Amino acid sequence: MSLLYRFAATCLLLLSALPAAAHDTDTRWEAIRPADQRVRWQAEGLTAPPQMAESFTSPLGYRLERYLWKAQKPGGSFAIAVLRDLSEDDHYLSGPVDLIKFATAVLKGLEAPKPQVSEPKDVKVATLNGPVLSRRFNLGTRQCVALGFYAQPQGNGSQARAAKDEPLAEGSLRLDGVYCATAGQPLTADQVLAYAAGVKLTSRKE
C-alpha cells in the first residue's frame, strides 16, 4: 500500500478534531491547483511543491486543506501539513491543540504505530509567522517534530503576531504539521527552528 494512499485514508481522522459543524458525511476532497496552494514548507529533503494537496469545503463554510511531501528515497524525510480554515462562517478554533495527538492521527498506518515523545512539553519557537509551538518525538528510527499555530481570528489573509510574542490562543485559521527527518539522522534544535520558520502560509484560495 503506497504512502499516498495510506495518507489519504488516515487523514480523514482529522475531521474528528474539527468543531461539531465539521462532521458532515458527504465529504468531497478536491485537488488544489499549484497556484492555489496556500501552504509552502521549506525544509531539508522536501520538494518545493507537495506531492499531494487536497481540500474540502463544507456547505457551512469551513475549509480543510491537507498537504503531503513524501520521502524522495527509502527512509528519506517527509512532511504532512493540515490547514483548518473556519473563517467563512464565523467559526473559531480555540484552546490548546495536542500536537502529539495530531501527529498520532496523521501518521497512523504510515510509519511506527505511535510517536514516542522526546520533549516533556511544547516549545515556543519564534518565526516570521509569529510564535509557533513545537514538540519533538521519535517515530521508529526517525526523529520528528510536530508544530502548530493560529492565525488571526478574523482570517482576512494576513497573519497577526500575538501580543508579547505569545502564541495566539484562538483563531479561525489553524495550521499543524509534522516533519520527520531521514531515518537514523539527528534532528537538531537549529533544524527545528529552521523548519518551523520554513512554513509559509499565504492567503490564496481557490
Instruction: Give the distance, in angstroms, between the CA of residue 141 and the centroid of all CA atoms in the same chain.
Output: 21
Name beta bridge partners: 79: 69, 179
Q: SS3 for 13?
A: helix
The DSSP output letter for 60 is T
The residue whose grid cell reads 488516515 is 10
Tens digit of pLDDT at every position of the chain (206 positions): 344 334 433 443 343 333 333 334 446 899 999 999 999 999 999 999 999 999 998 888 889 999 999 998 889 999 999 999 987 666 777 778 999 999 999 998 675 668 999 999 999 998 877 789 999 999 989 999 999 998 765 434 445 555 556 777 788 889 999 999 999 999 999 999 999 999 988 875 54
Name the pTM for this structure: 0.82
**Cell numbers of 173, please?**
485559521
